[in-house]
Structure 1
Amino acid sequence: MELQTKTERREKTPETAKCPSLKKSTKKRVSIRGTTEVKLGPQLIGKNGVLTPFDSDGYVAGMSIIDRLFTELEKIGSGDFGDVWRGENNGDVFAIKKSKQEVNTGDPNKFKEIEMLHILPHHPNLLRFHKAWLEKDFIYIQTELCRTNLLEYSKNGLDEKTIWRIVRHLLSGLDVLHRNEYLHNDIKPENILVGSNGFFKLADFGLTRRVDCSKGIEGDSRYLALEVLLNNTTSMASDIFALAITFLEITTNLHLDTDADYKVKYKTFQIPDRFFVGRSIELRSLIQSMMNLDASKRPSCVELLNESRIFEKLTEREKRSLKIRGESEEPASECSEIRNGSVSPEVPKSPITKKPRTVSPKSKTPKISPKISGSPSTPVQQPLPILRFSSPDNSPPSTPPSNRRRQIDRTGPPPRALSFNII
Structure 2
Amino acid sequence: MDKLNAEAAEQCKRTLSYILCQNNSPSNPNTPQSSVIIPDTSFYKRWQKSDRLFEGIYTSSGYSTPKTPATLIDVKKFSHLNSDSNCMWRQNSSDFMSFIEEPDLINFSPPLSHRNSMIDQFEDSSGRFDHDYVQLGVLGSGEFGTVFKVLNKLDGFYYAVKQIKIRAKTMKTEALQEAYILASSSMIDDNCYIIRYYSVWTEISALYICMELCECSLKKYIEKAQVTEKLVYKFMRDILKGLKKLHDNNIVHMDIKPENILLSMYGKFKLADLGLARITTNLTNEIPEGDCRYLACEVLEDANENHVPDLTKADIFSLGASVYEIIRGKPLPKNGQEWQDIRHGRIKIPFGYSYNIRKAIEIMMSREPEKRPSAAQLLDEYFVSDKEKEIKKWKNYAGWLEKGQNGEKKVVVKKERKMSL
CA contact 1:102–1:139 (8 Å) conserved in 2: no
Aligned to 1:123: 191
Describe the SS at the equivalent of 2:138. strand
Partner amino acid, structure 2, of 1:189 = P
CA contact 2:145–2:164 (8 Å) conserved in 1: yes
Counterparts of 1:303-314 in structure 2, within 5 Å, are 303-307=377-381, 309-311=382-384, 314=385
Q: Does 1:298 align with 2:369?
A: no
Higher relative contact order (CA 8 A, sep 6+): 1
Q: C-alpha displacement at 1:72, in angstroms?
A: 4.9
Aligned-residue sequence identity (percent) comes to 31
Task: Give me the TM-score of the superposition, normalised by structure 2.
Answer: 0.60
In structure 2, distance between residues paired with 1:106 and 1:87: 25
Q: C-alpha displacement at 1:62, in angstroms?
A: 8.0
Larger radius of gyration: 2
Partner amino acid, structure 1, of 2:321 = I
Q: C-alpha displacement at 1:112, in angstroms?
A: 1.4
In structure 1, distance between residues paired with 2:178 and 2:318: 20
CA contact 1:290–1:298 (8 Å) conserved in 2: yes
CA contact 1:42–1:134 (8 Å) conserved in 2: no
RMSD: 3.0
Describe the SS at the equivalent of 2:143. coil
Q: C-alpha displacement at 1:117, in angstroms?
A: 1.3
Q: Does 1:222 align with 2:293?
A: yes
The equivalent position to 1:94 in structure 2, one of 159, 175, 188, is 159
Q: C-alpha displacement at 1:88, in angstroms?
A: 1.3
Partner amino acid, structure 1, of 2:220 = E
The equivalent position to 2:253 in structure 1, one of 176, 184, 206, is 184
Aligned to 2:354: 280
Q: Does 1:46 align with 2:69?
A: yes
Alpha carbons of structure 1 residues 108 and 81: separation in structure 2 relative to 1, 3 Å:
closer
Describe the SS at the equivalent of 2:366. coil
Q: C-alpha displacement at 1:81, in angstroms?
A: 1.7
Partner amino acid, structure 1, of 2:360 = L
CA contact 1:83–1:97 (8 Å) conserved in 2: yes
Q: Structure 1: which 5+ residue stretches go unaligned?
A: 1-39, 55-60, 324-401, 412-423
Aligned to 2:216: 148
In structure 2, distance between residues paired with 1:159 and 1:106: 42
In structure 2, distance between residues paired with 1:268 and 1:46: 43
Partner amino acid, structure 2, of 1:301 = A
Aligned to 2:242: 173
Q: Deviations over 1:289-335 (max 9, x none)?
A: 1112221121111111111x422xx142x668x98xxxxxxxxxxxx
Count of aligned pairs between the two proteins: 280
Counterparts of 1:7-406 in structure 2, within 5 Å, are 43-47=66-70, 48=111, 49-51=117-119, 53=122, 64-89=127-152, 90-102=155-167, 104=169, 108-120=173-185, 121=188, 123-156=191-224, 157-212=226-281, 213=283, 215=285, 216-232=287-303, 233-234=308-309, 235-272=311-348, 275-307=349-381, 309-311=382-384, 314-316=385-387
Task: Give me the TM-score of the superposition, normalised by structure 1.
Answer: 0.60
Q: Deviations over 1:8-42 (max 9, x none)?
A: xxxxxxxxxxxxxxxxxxxxxxxxxxxxxxxx998
Q: C-alpha displacement at 1:191, in angstroms?
A: 1.2
Which is richer in helix?
2
Q: C-alpha displacement at 1:105, in angstroms?
A: 5.5
Alpha carbons of structure 1 residues 214 and 228: separation in structure 2 relative to 1, 3 Å:
farther
